């Protein structure tokens, strides 16, 4: 049994929710490659067609998000009219996957961009809204798409570019969560909101290295703010650092006398099998942490295997313009603390 | 004297803040053309160099935002360490203007994308955070840049493309606001959060037409939720509909028996003189409503000319990818209700 965490003070970057909002339902819609990976059996639906029946990858990504939101609503026994706000985002310029994915649901909408940290940002803002008493039910969602992301950030797929071994593979999929002010067996006990960290990395293929300092900063501050230690947690999941980023994260924290090597997992490392799937050092994208949380992590918590999990999606803040103009790639990471309700 | 608005219920899309957060300070940093326009004398600083001393427009836009945030902090007598969260965004893909503009301040950051509605989105989320008791001081900011936006969304400036008369001119500038949980002579009394509205407009030069239905929807719902009428407001400011969008807005509302023609103003119409500045049917961009609020509207309220203003930034949700793939241009609008504190 994990010991109870100290309540408050808020510390420098965190909020502890005394009346913690909960996850009422969730859904994960994953692409073909994700379905063939180690977590494949955990996803609600596997869609073999990358365009999801649409004409383009971008429209396809919208379909993944809409399907995830609708399935989460169905599981909760709710309709879009019951949802006060939708917090969501994706990786594409101007959030077009989200815009066209959610527009027909007609839910008041806050568009978010945190690169691959977006799922953490959405859950953070959604839980603040609920804990503040401003809604009964909200949705938090995020998506990404391999084809759309390669086209947006790197090379056309037809070009067949070589990928360095430290590159990551953008996950195709979307996770959606219906959050409730009072209900749900898994609650959001707190959040630690990230600052932008820039260590001057300029290689857009090496996103693990650009995000690791941000993850280290947020995780370190989380323990400070909650007066907790890694032993108080069953798992600490970063979003998509991959193997290179994980090494840097563990090293940076060790330098600050914090050893999370026992608890640390990375959604990007868990989601693919690099030996058989040719995915470089792991999966990435907003969808990576979103479907790993909606598919895998929540299941372990519901079954009682894990009682307290720190979920820390990580984002690399670049665009092709900033990259081509020679700017560095700063990172950001937003931590969300999940607990099983029984454990309170 | 404007009569007091009914408190609650929340209605379908709005929040009424009983303990209303306030504007502690604000700053507007505007470009040369904006400085030469009708509102020029209201801005804190006019920067003649579009690159603000940097190598690129994008880096220049970051400078505008950083300068606005720093000046607002200075006016409040605060430093970045006193700010719990920063809510901000811009128009560029992956929010690079914001990322590089705010990263050195090291404030926990929520990245937002609402196209030109971003200032309204940032103020909405910031005020929910404060009214929920999760912070004492936060910053809300947004920026846009003519050169950067043309390059991102339309044509290279060097190409010298023709602009149809219904096109708008992206404002170069940034507005920043320090919001306080308890202080400030101007308060945020409520918010009405927008839904995405899509009337099938496909002309990326005609953004007024794509945003007007969203503005009409949000404004109509605001009056429903607050049981108020246009006569209860001194002004109702949309963000950047321009003259074409304004006509459509007024017509759509008239069809719903709502006449806001006396109170309605549009930041995009106010900020330029179309006869002498060749700006089509008005200004646009996140920066347009941001600097009009920070420069002009707040000044009228502080001087007592206006006691209650509904501020409704409007966003056109497109990217070059969605546009080139033949998608429509949906709109969104977020309303923020300002009152002078004396008026409470």
- Kindly list the averaged pLDDT for each block of 10 residues, start to end, along chain A of length 344: 53 91 98 98 98 96 98 98 97 96 97 98 98 96 95 84 88 98 97 96 90 97 95 97 96 97 98 93 96 98 97 96 93 98 71
- Mutation target among B93, B121, B312 for the A interface, most CBs of A within 10 A: B93
pLDDT in tens, B172-223: 999 999 999 999 999 999 999 999 999 999 998 888 999 999 999 999 999 9
- The beta-carbon neighbor of B112 closest among A112, A134, A317 is A112
Domain boundaries, given as residue ranges, for chain A: 19-180, 186-339
pLDDT of residue A8: 47
Domains A19-180 and A186-339 are alike in CATH topology: yes
pLDDT of residue A112: 98
Cβ count within 10 A of residue A209: 22
Q: What's residue B318's pLDDT?
A: 93
B7 CA: distance to closest CA in chain A (Å): 14
Tell me whether residues A195 and B129 touch, CB distance under 8 A. Answer: no
> Quick one: closest CA in A to B86, which residue?
A195
Q: Which chain B residues have a beta carbon less than 8 Å from that of A110?
A: 112, 114, 121, 124-125, 193
Q: What is the CA radius of gyration of chain A?
A: 18
Q: Please report residues of A whose CB lies closer than 8 A to that of B85.
A: 193
Q: What pLDDT shows up at residue A205?
A: 86
The CATH number assigned to the domain with range A19-180 reads 3.40.47.40
How many residue pairs from chains A and B have C-beta atoms closer than 8 A? 164
| Nearest Cα to Cα of residue B214 among B286, B289, B111, B114 | B114
DSSP one-letter code for A327: -
Nearest Cα neighbor of A250 from A272, A276, A269, A274 is: A269
Contact A208, A166 (CB under 8 A): yes
For residue A210, give both structure tokens.
């650009």
Distances (CA, A) of B183 to B82, B84, B128, B255, B340: 14, 15, 15, 40, 12
pLDDT at A6: 55
Chain-wide mean pLDDT for chain B? 94
Cβ within 8 Å of residue A63, ≥6 positions away: A52, A53, A54, A101
Q: What is the mean pLDDT of residues B110-117?
A: 98
From the list A303, A253, A272, the residue with the least C-alpha distance to A34 is: A272
End-to-end CA distance of chain A: 11
Cβ pair A112:B107 closer than 8 A = no
pLDDT (0 to 100) of residue A3: 57
| B193/A108 touch (CB, cutoff 8 Å), yes or no | yes
| Cis previous bond, A9, omega within 30 | yes
Do the Cβ atoms of B321 and A96 come within 8 Å? yes
Q: What is the pLDDT of residues B266-298, one digit of tens each?
A: 999 999 998 999 999 999 999 999 999 999 999
The string of DSSP letters for B259-292 reads: --TTTEEEHHHHH--HHHH--TT-EESHHHHHHI
Q: Taking Cα atoms as reference points, which of B128, B254, B255 lies closest to residue B181?
A: B128
What are the angstrom distances between the C-alpha of B270 and each of B27, B241, B299? 18, 11, 15
A321/B113 touch (CB, cutoff 8 Å), yes or no? no
Q: Does the pLDDT of residue B9 top 60, yes or no?
A: no
Residue B29 vs residue B3, higher pLDDT: B29
Tracing tokens 């427009």 back to the chain, one arrives at B57
Rounded-to-integer distance, Cα A332 and Cα A292, Å: 19
Phi-psi region of A157 (alpha: psi -120 to 50; beta: other; left: phi over 0): alpha
Residues in A closer than 8 angstroms to B335, CB to CB, are none
Fold of B15-180: Peroxisomal Thiolase; Chain A, domain 1 (3.40.47)
CA distance to A2, A235, A293, per residue, from A305 (Å): 12, 10, 14
Nearest CA of chain A to the CA of B99: how many Å?
Answer: 7
Question: Would you tell me which CATH number, out of the four given (3.30.2320.50, 3.30.70.60, 3.40.50.720, 3.40.47.40), belongs to the domain A186-339?
Answer: 3.40.47.40
> CATH fold of B185-343, please?
Peroxisomal Thiolase; Chain A, domain 1 (3.40.47)
B102 to chain A: closest CA residue: A196
Which among B91, B106, B110 has CB closest to A121?
B110
**Beta-strand pair B173-180/B22-31:** antiparallel
pLDDT at B151 over 70: yes
Do A114 and B112 make contact, defined as CB atoms within 8 angstroms? no
Q: How many CB atoms lie within 10 A of CB B232?
A: 17
CA dihedral B70, B75, B81, B82 (to 10 degrees): -140
In chain B, the percentage of residues whose pLDDT exceeds 70 is 97
The answer to whether A23 and A186 are in contact (CB under 8 A) is: yes
pLDDT of residue B1: 36
Q: Is A250 helix (H, G, I), strand (E, B) or coil?
A: helix
pLDDT in the model for residue A1 = 36
pLDDT of residue A153: 87
Q: Quick check: B56 pLDDT over 50? A: yes
DSSP code of residue A163: -
For residue B9, whether the previous peptide bond is cis, meaning omega lies within 30 degrees of 0, is yes
Identify the closest residue of chain B to A196 by CA–CA distance: B103
Instruction: Please answer whether residues A175 and A295 qualify as being in contact, where contact means their C-beta atoms are separated by less than 8 angstroms.
Output: yes
What pLDDT sits at residue A274?
A: 87
Quick one: which of A189, A75, A122, A144 has its CA closest to A288?
Answer: A144
Question: What is the reported pLDDT for B159?
Answer: 81
């Amino acid at each position: 049994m994990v010991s109870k965490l100290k309540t408050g003070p808020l510390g420098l970057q965190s909020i502890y929710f005394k009346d913690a909002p909960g996850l009422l339902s969730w859904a994960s819609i994953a692409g073909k490659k994700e379905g063939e990976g180690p977590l494949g059996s955990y996803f609600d639906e596997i869609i073999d067609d990358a365009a999801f029946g649409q004409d383009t990858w971008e429209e396809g990504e919208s379909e993944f998000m809409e399907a995830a939101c609708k399935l989460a609503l169905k599981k909760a026994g709710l309709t879009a009219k019951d949802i006060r706000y939708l917090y969501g985002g994706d990786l594409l310029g101007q959030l077009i996957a989200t815009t066209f994915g959610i527009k027909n649901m007609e839910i008041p909408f806050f568009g978010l961009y945190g690169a691959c940290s977006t799922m953490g940002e959405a859950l953070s803002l959604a839980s603040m809204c609920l804990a503040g008493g401003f809604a009964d039910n909200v949705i938090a969602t995020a998506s990404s798409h391999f084809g759309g992301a390669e086209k947006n950030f790197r090379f056309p797929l037809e070009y067949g570019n070589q990928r360095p071994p430290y590159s990551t593979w953008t996950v195709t999929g979307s996770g959606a969560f219906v959050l409730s002010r009072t209900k749900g067996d898994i609650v959001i006990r707190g959040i630690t909101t990230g600052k932008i960290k820039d260590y001057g990395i300029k290689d857009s293929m090496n996103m693990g290295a650009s995000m690791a300092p941000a993850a280290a900063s947020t995780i370190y501050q989380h323990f400070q703010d909650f007066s907790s230690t890694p032993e108080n947690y069953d798992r600490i999941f970063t979003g998509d650092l991959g193997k290179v980023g994980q090494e840097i994260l563990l090293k940076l924290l060790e330098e600050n006398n914090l050893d999370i090597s026992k608890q640390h997992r990375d959604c990007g490392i868990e989601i693919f099998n690099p030996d058989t799937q040719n995915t470089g050092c792991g999966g990435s994208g907003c969808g990576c942490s979103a479907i790993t949380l909606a598919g895998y992590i929540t299941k372990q918590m519901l079954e009682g295997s894990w009682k307290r999990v720190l979920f820390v999606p990580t984002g690399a803040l670049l665009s092709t313009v900033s990259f081509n103009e020679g700017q560095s790639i700063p990172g950001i990471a937003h931590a969300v603390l999940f607990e099983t309700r029984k454990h309170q």
